[in-house]
Amino acid sequence: QAKAHGKNGYVFYKNDMHQDASDEFSLENHLRKALEQNEFELFYQAQINSQTGEIIGVEALLRWNHPELGMILPNIFIPLAEKIGLIVPIGEWVIMEACRQNKMWQESGLPNMKVSVNLSTQQFLKQNLVDVVQHVLQSTQLNPQFLELEITESMAMDYKYARKVIDQLRGLGVAVSIDDFGTGYSSLKNLKCFAINRIKIDKCFVMNVLHNQNDEQIVSAIIAMAHGLGVNVVAEGVENEEQLHYLHSQECYNIQGYYFMKPLPAYEFTDQYPQLVEEFKKKKEIIHEKS
Ligand code: C2E
Ligand code: MG
Ligand code: MG
Ligand code: MG
Protein backbone atom coordinates (compact mmCIF):
# COMPACT_ATOMS: atom_id res chain seq x y z
CA GLN A 1 0.00 0.00 0.00
CA ALA A 2 1.23 3.46 -0.81
CA LYS A 3 1.36 5.50 2.34
CA ALA A 4 2.36 9.03 2.90
CA HIS A 5 2.86 10.86 6.13
CA GLY A 6 1.18 14.23 6.38
CA LYS A 7 2.72 17.14 8.25
CA ASN A 8 0.54 16.54 11.25
CA GLY A 9 1.42 12.89 11.50
CA TYR A 10 -1.75 11.55 9.90
CA VAL A 11 -1.32 8.78 7.48
CA PHE A 12 -3.29 9.03 4.29
CA TYR A 13 -3.44 7.09 1.10
CA LYS A 14 -2.68 8.69 -2.15
CA ASN A 15 -5.24 6.63 -3.96
CA ASP A 16 -4.83 8.17 -7.34
CA MET A 17 -1.08 7.96 -7.37
CA HIS A 18 -1.16 4.40 -6.24
CA GLN A 19 -3.63 3.52 -8.93
CA ASP A 20 -1.63 5.17 -11.72
CA ALA A 21 1.64 3.61 -10.71
CA SER A 22 0.24 0.10 -10.45
CA ASP A 23 -1.69 0.42 -13.70
CA GLU A 24 1.40 1.36 -15.54
CA PHE A 25 3.35 -1.37 -13.84
CA SER A 26 0.88 -4.08 -14.75
CA LEU A 27 0.46 -2.77 -18.28
CA GLU A 28 4.22 -2.92 -18.53
CA ASN A 29 4.33 -6.48 -17.28
CA HIS A 30 1.62 -7.52 -19.70
CA LEU A 31 3.41 -5.82 -22.51
CA ARG A 32 6.52 -7.87 -21.82
CA LYS A 33 4.54 -11.03 -22.58
CA ALA A 34 2.34 -9.70 -25.34
CA LEU A 35 4.60 -10.74 -28.22
CA GLU A 36 5.00 -14.35 -27.17
CA GLN A 37 1.30 -14.54 -26.34
CA ASN A 38 0.37 -13.37 -29.82
CA GLU A 39 -1.60 -10.39 -28.62
CA PHE A 40 -0.52 -8.03 -31.37
CA GLU A 41 -2.50 -7.55 -34.51
CA LEU A 42 -2.13 -5.35 -37.55
CA PHE A 43 -5.03 -3.33 -38.89
CA TYR A 44 -4.86 -1.97 -42.41
CA GLN A 45 -6.06 1.30 -43.87
CA ALA A 46 -6.01 1.92 -47.60
CA GLN A 47 -4.43 4.85 -49.37
CA ILE A 48 -6.48 5.78 -52.39
CA ASN A 49 -5.78 7.61 -55.59
CA SER A 50 -8.88 9.77 -55.47
CA GLN A 51 -8.71 10.51 -59.19
CA THR A 52 -9.06 6.88 -60.19
CA GLY A 53 -10.51 5.37 -57.02
CA GLU A 54 -7.73 2.80 -56.98
CA ILE A 55 -6.03 1.49 -53.88
CA ILE A 56 -2.37 2.42 -54.08
CA GLY A 57 -1.30 1.08 -50.74
CA VAL A 58 -2.24 0.13 -47.21
CA GLU A 59 -0.76 1.32 -43.95
CA ALA A 60 -0.23 -1.31 -41.28
CA LEU A 61 -1.38 -0.02 -37.89
CA LEU A 62 -0.53 -1.93 -34.75
CA ARG A 63 -3.14 -2.97 -32.21
CA TRP A 64 -2.71 -4.74 -28.90
CA ASN A 65 -5.48 -7.12 -27.89
CA HIS A 66 -5.08 -7.04 -24.14
CA PRO A 67 -6.67 -10.09 -22.48
CA GLU A 68 -8.57 -7.99 -19.92
CA LEU A 69 -8.62 -4.45 -21.23
CA GLY A 70 -9.50 -5.25 -24.84
CA MET A 71 -7.99 -3.43 -27.77
CA ILE A 72 -5.35 -0.86 -26.90
CA LEU A 73 -4.25 1.79 -29.41
CA PRO A 74 -0.60 2.44 -30.27
CA ASN A 75 -0.54 5.94 -28.80
CA ILE A 76 -0.91 4.26 -25.40
CA PHE A 77 1.40 1.29 -25.61
CA ILE A 78 4.09 2.37 -28.08
CA PRO A 79 5.55 5.01 -25.77
CA LEU A 80 5.57 2.35 -23.05
CA ALA A 81 7.23 -0.18 -25.34
CA GLU A 82 9.83 2.44 -26.19
CA LYS A 83 10.44 3.16 -22.53
CA ILE A 84 11.04 -0.45 -21.57
CA GLY A 85 13.07 -1.30 -24.64
CA LEU A 86 10.52 -3.55 -26.29
CA ILE A 87 9.78 -1.51 -29.37
CA VAL A 88 12.58 -3.06 -31.39
CA PRO A 89 11.34 -6.69 -31.20
CA ILE A 90 7.73 -5.53 -31.54
CA GLY A 91 8.69 -3.42 -34.53
CA GLU A 92 10.47 -6.35 -36.14
CA TRP A 93 7.35 -8.44 -35.71
CA VAL A 94 5.36 -5.66 -37.43
CA ILE A 95 7.67 -5.56 -40.46
CA MET A 96 7.56 -9.35 -40.79
CA GLU A 97 3.80 -9.59 -40.36
CA ALA A 98 3.03 -6.74 -42.76
CA CYS A 99 5.25 -8.24 -45.48
CA ARG A 100 3.86 -11.73 -44.93
CA GLN A 101 0.31 -10.41 -45.22
CA ASN A 102 1.03 -8.39 -48.33
CA LYS A 103 2.62 -11.42 -49.97
CA MET A 104 -0.48 -13.46 -49.08
CA TRP A 105 -2.73 -10.84 -50.63
CA GLN A 106 -0.66 -10.93 -53.79
CA GLU A 107 -0.80 -14.70 -53.93
CA SER A 108 -4.55 -14.71 -53.42
CA GLY A 109 -4.95 -12.50 -56.48
CA LEU A 110 -5.44 -9.02 -55.05
CA PRO A 111 -3.94 -6.31 -57.24
CA ASN A 112 -0.46 -5.35 -56.05
CA MET A 113 -0.21 -2.60 -53.50
CA LYS A 114 2.45 -1.23 -51.20
CA VAL A 115 2.28 -1.91 -47.51
CA SER A 116 3.53 0.93 -45.32
CA VAL A 117 5.08 0.22 -41.94
CA ASN A 118 5.76 2.79 -39.23
CA LEU A 119 9.24 2.71 -37.72
CA SER A 120 10.03 3.97 -34.26
CA THR A 121 13.09 6.05 -33.54
CA GLN A 122 14.80 3.23 -31.68
CA GLN A 123 14.34 0.90 -34.63
CA PHE A 124 15.70 3.49 -37.00
CA LEU A 125 18.75 4.08 -34.82
CA LYS A 126 19.50 0.39 -34.42
CA GLN A 127 22.47 -0.52 -36.55
CA ASN A 128 20.95 -3.74 -37.87
CA LEU A 129 17.73 -2.24 -39.29
CA VAL A 130 18.77 -2.76 -42.88
CA ASP A 131 19.72 -6.40 -42.19
CA VAL A 132 16.37 -6.97 -40.50
CA VAL A 133 14.48 -5.58 -43.47
CA GLN A 134 16.57 -7.62 -45.87
CA HIS A 135 15.94 -10.76 -43.84
CA VAL A 136 12.18 -10.13 -43.81
CA LEU A 137 12.10 -9.61 -47.57
CA GLN A 138 14.04 -12.77 -48.10
CA SER A 139 11.93 -14.92 -45.85
CA THR A 140 8.56 -13.58 -47.01
CA GLN A 141 9.63 -13.33 -50.66
CA LEU A 142 7.87 -9.99 -50.93
CA ASN A 143 9.19 -7.89 -53.78
CA PRO A 144 10.83 -4.86 -52.07
CA GLN A 145 8.90 -2.45 -54.27
CA PHE A 146 5.79 -3.37 -52.27
CA LEU A 147 7.20 -2.26 -48.93
CA GLU A 148 7.39 1.29 -47.67
CA LEU A 149 8.93 2.34 -44.37
CA GLU A 150 7.62 5.46 -42.65
CA ILE A 151 10.01 7.52 -40.61
CA THR A 152 9.44 10.87 -38.91
CA GLU A 153 11.34 14.08 -39.28
CA SER A 154 12.93 13.81 -35.86
CA MET A 155 14.67 10.59 -36.87
CA ALA A 156 16.62 12.48 -39.49
CA MET A 157 18.26 14.84 -37.00
CA ASP A 158 21.52 12.94 -37.19
CA TYR A 159 21.79 13.88 -40.79
CA LYS A 160 24.71 11.68 -41.83
CA TYR A 161 23.36 8.58 -40.17
CA ALA A 162 19.85 9.08 -41.56
CA ARG A 163 21.15 9.62 -45.03
CA LYS A 164 23.21 6.44 -44.88
CA VAL A 165 20.30 4.31 -43.63
CA ILE A 166 17.82 5.77 -46.11
CA ASP A 167 20.25 5.14 -48.96
CA GLN A 168 20.75 1.55 -47.84
CA LEU A 169 17.01 0.95 -47.56
CA ARG A 170 16.49 2.47 -50.98
CA GLY A 171 19.29 0.24 -52.16
CA LEU A 172 17.23 -2.78 -51.14
CA GLY A 173 14.43 -1.43 -53.32
CA VAL A 174 12.24 -0.35 -50.41
CA ALA A 175 10.44 3.02 -50.39
CA VAL A 176 10.95 5.49 -47.55
CA SER A 177 8.46 8.16 -46.58
CA ILE A 178 8.27 10.90 -43.99
CA ASP A 179 5.21 10.54 -41.78
CA ASP A 180 3.44 13.31 -39.86
CA PHE A 181 5.19 15.84 -42.02
CA GLY A 182 5.25 19.32 -40.54
CA THR A 183 4.94 18.30 -36.89
CA GLY A 184 8.51 17.29 -36.05
CA TYR A 185 11.95 18.78 -35.91
CA SER A 186 13.39 18.81 -39.34
CA SER A 187 15.38 20.70 -41.79
CA LEU A 188 14.03 21.28 -45.26
CA LYS A 189 17.52 20.43 -46.43
CA ASN A 190 16.70 16.84 -45.56
CA LEU A 191 13.96 16.73 -48.13
CA LYS A 192 16.35 17.86 -50.78
CA CYS A 193 19.23 15.59 -49.83
CA PHE A 194 17.48 12.43 -48.70
CA ALA A 195 16.18 9.94 -51.20
CA ILE A 196 12.64 10.21 -49.84
CA ASN A 197 9.82 8.77 -51.94
CA ARG A 198 6.99 10.66 -50.35
CA ILE A 199 5.75 12.73 -47.50
CA LYS A 200 2.56 12.30 -45.54
CA ILE A 201 0.84 15.49 -44.46
CA ASP A 202 -0.11 15.13 -40.83
CA LYS A 203 -3.77 14.85 -40.03
CA CYS A 204 -3.66 17.75 -37.57
CA PHE A 205 -3.29 20.12 -40.54
CA VAL A 206 -5.77 18.31 -42.76
CA MET A 207 -8.39 18.29 -40.02
CA ASN A 208 -8.62 22.10 -39.89
CA VAL A 209 -7.89 22.86 -43.49
CA LEU A 210 -11.32 24.42 -44.05
CA HIS A 211 -11.57 26.34 -40.81
CA ASN A 212 -8.09 27.57 -40.08
CA GLN A 213 -6.24 29.77 -42.52
CA ASN A 214 -2.85 28.88 -41.11
CA ASP A 215 -3.47 25.18 -41.55
CA GLU A 216 -4.74 25.80 -45.04
CA GLN A 217 -1.55 27.71 -45.87
CA ILE A 218 0.60 24.95 -44.38
CA VAL A 219 -1.16 22.22 -46.33
CA SER A 220 -0.99 24.07 -49.62
CA ALA A 221 2.68 24.94 -49.03
CA ILE A 222 3.59 21.32 -48.24
CA ILE A 223 1.84 20.10 -51.38
CA ALA A 224 3.45 22.76 -53.56
CA MET A 225 6.87 22.01 -52.10
CA ALA A 226 6.46 18.27 -52.65
CA HIS A 227 5.41 18.87 -56.24
CA GLY A 228 8.34 21.20 -56.77
CA LEU A 229 10.80 18.69 -55.39
CA GLY A 230 9.24 15.79 -57.29
CA VAL A 231 8.31 13.97 -54.09
CA ASN A 232 5.04 12.09 -53.81
CA VAL A 233 2.58 13.47 -51.27
CA VAL A 234 -0.25 11.81 -49.31
CA ALA A 235 -2.82 13.53 -47.11
CA GLU A 236 -3.69 11.73 -43.89
CA GLY A 237 -6.79 12.03 -41.78
CA VAL A 238 -9.18 12.98 -44.59
CA GLU A 239 -12.65 12.58 -43.14
CA ASN A 240 -15.00 14.40 -45.47
CA GLU A 241 -15.71 15.52 -48.99
CA GLU A 242 -14.93 19.15 -48.28
CA GLN A 243 -11.40 18.34 -47.18
CA LEU A 244 -10.99 16.19 -50.25
CA HIS A 245 -12.16 19.01 -52.52
CA TYR A 246 -9.64 21.32 -50.97
CA LEU A 247 -6.85 18.76 -51.49
CA HIS A 248 -7.92 18.30 -55.11
CA SER A 249 -7.82 22.05 -55.63
CA GLN A 250 -4.14 21.80 -54.61
CA GLU A 251 -3.64 18.77 -56.88
CA CYS A 252 -3.10 16.32 -54.05
CA TYR A 253 -4.77 13.05 -55.02
CA ASN A 254 -3.27 10.50 -52.67
CA ILE A 255 -5.63 10.17 -49.79
CA GLN A 256 -5.80 8.22 -46.56
CA GLY A 257 -8.58 8.69 -44.04
CA TYR A 258 -11.92 7.74 -42.59
CA TYR A 259 -13.67 9.31 -45.59
CA PHE A 260 -12.63 6.22 -47.52
CA MET A 261 -12.22 3.71 -44.72
CA LYS A 262 -11.23 3.12 -41.12
CA PRO A 263 -8.39 0.69 -40.42
CA LEU A 264 -9.59 -2.93 -40.53
CA PRO A 265 -8.15 -6.25 -39.36
CA ALA A 266 -6.51 -8.19 -42.21
CA TYR A 267 -9.30 -10.75 -42.58
CA GLU A 268 -11.97 -8.03 -42.76
CA PHE A 269 -9.93 -6.11 -45.31
CA THR A 270 -9.69 -9.29 -47.38
CA ASP A 271 -13.40 -10.10 -47.03
CA GLN A 272 -14.53 -6.59 -47.79
CA TYR A 273 -12.04 -5.93 -50.57
CA PRO A 274 -14.57 -6.17 -53.44
CA GLN A 275 -17.06 -3.88 -51.68
CA LEU A 276 -14.33 -1.44 -50.72
CA VAL A 277 -13.21 -1.20 -54.34
CA GLU A 278 -16.82 -0.50 -55.38
CA GLU A 279 -17.28 2.13 -52.68
CA PHE A 280 -14.06 3.90 -53.59
CA LYS A 281 -15.10 4.04 -57.25
CA LYS A 282 -18.48 5.49 -56.30
CA LYS A 283 -16.93 8.09 -54.05
CA LYS A 284 -14.52 9.04 -56.80
CA GLU A 285 -17.44 9.57 -59.20
CA ILE A 286 -19.37 11.69 -56.74
CA ILE A 287 -16.33 13.88 -56.24
CA HIS A 288 -15.72 14.25 -59.97
CA GLU A 289 -19.34 15.25 -60.58
CA LYS A 290 -19.14 17.96 -57.95
CA SER A 291 -15.91 19.48 -59.14
P1 C2E B 1 0.29 7.45 -38.07
O2 C2E B 1 1.40 6.63 -38.60
O3 C2E B 1 0.27 8.87 -38.44
O4 C2E B 1 -1.04 6.72 -38.53
C5 C2E B 1 -2.24 7.36 -38.82
C6 C2E B 1 -3.19 7.39 -37.64
O7 C2E B 1 -4.33 8.16 -37.96
C8 C2E B 1 -3.72 6.01 -37.26
O9 C2E B 1 -3.97 6.01 -35.85
C10 C2E B 1 -5.05 5.97 -38.01
O11 C2E B 1 -5.98 5.05 -37.47
C12 C2E B 1 -5.50 7.39 -37.82
N13 C2E B 1 -6.42 7.84 -38.85
C14 C2E B 1 -6.50 7.46 -40.13
N15 C2E B 1 -7.45 8.13 -40.80
C16 C2E B 1 -7.98 9.00 -39.91
C17 C2E B 1 -9.03 10.00 -40.00
O18 C2E B 1 -9.64 10.22 -41.04
N19 C2E B 1 -9.29 10.70 -38.86
C20 C2E B 1 -8.61 10.48 -37.69
N21 C2E B 1 -8.95 11.21 -36.64
N22 C2E B 1 -7.65 9.56 -37.58
C23 C2E B 1 -7.33 8.84 -38.68
P24 C2E B 1 -3.53 4.77 -34.95
O25 C2E B 1 -3.74 3.50 -35.69
O26 C2E B 1 -4.17 4.96 -33.62
O27 C2E B 1 -1.96 4.98 -34.82
C28 C2E B 1 -1.43 6.09 -34.17
C29 C2E B 1 0.04 6.21 -34.38
O30 C2E B 1 0.73 5.11 -33.75
C31 C2E B 1 0.47 6.13 -35.85
O32 C2E B 1 0.27 7.37 -36.46
C33 C2E B 1 1.91 5.72 -35.72
O34 C2E B 1 2.73 6.84 -35.49
C35 C2E B 1 1.89 4.86 -34.48
N36 C2E B 1 1.92 3.45 -34.92
C37 C2E B 1 0.93 2.67 -35.39
N38 C2E B 1 1.39 1.43 -35.68
C39 C2E B 1 2.72 1.44 -35.40
C40 C2E B 1 3.76 0.47 -35.50
O41 C2E B 1 3.59 -0.67 -35.96
N42 C2E B 1 5.01 0.85 -35.08
C43 C2E B 1 5.26 2.11 -34.62
N44 C2E B 1 6.52 2.41 -34.22
N45 C2E B 1 4.32 3.05 -34.54
C46 C2E B 1 3.06 2.72 -34.92
MG1 MG C 1 2.16 6.28 -40.38
MG1 MG D 1 3.76 7.40 -37.68
MG1 MG E 1 0.94 10.18 -39.59
Question: Quick check: 191 and 229 in contact, CB under 8 A?
Answer: yes
User: Rounded to a whole number, what is the distance in angstroms from the first to the last CA of the chain?
Assistant: 64
- Nearest ligand 1 atom to alpha carbon 94: 41
Map 220-278 to HEC letters.
HHHHHHHHHHCCEEEECCCCCHHHHHHHHHCCCCEEECCCCCCCEEHHHHHHHHHHHHH
Q: Which of 203, 262, 264 to mutate to test the pocket of ligand 1 (most atoms within 8 A of CB)?
A: 203
Rg of the chain's alpha carbons, rounded to an integer? 21
Supply the pLDDT for residue 53.
95
Q: Residue 213: exposed, middle, or buried by beta-carbon count in 10 A (0-12, 13-18, 19+)?
A: exposed
Supply the pLDDT for residue 9.
47
Query: What whole-number distance in Å separates Cα of residue 20 and Cα of residue 43?
Result: 29
Q: How remote is the CA of residue 176 from the centroid of ligand 3, in Å?
A: 12
- Residue 33, pLDDT > 50, answer yes
β-pair type (198-201, 232-235): parallel
- The ipTM assigned to this model is 0.99
pLDDT in tens, 103-134: 999 999 999 999 999 999 999 999 999 999 99
Q: How remote is the CA of residue 279 from the centroid of ligand 2, in Å?
A: 23
**pLDDT, average across residues 191-196:** 85
Higher-confidence residue: 191 or 224? 224
Higher-confidence residue: 10 or 279? 279
pLDDT in tens, 234-260: 999 999 999 999 999 999 999 999 999
pTM of the model: 0.92
Sequence-ordered list of residues with C-beta below 8 angstroms from that of 50, at least 6 positions apart, any chain: 244, 247, 248, 253, 254, 255, 283, 284, 287
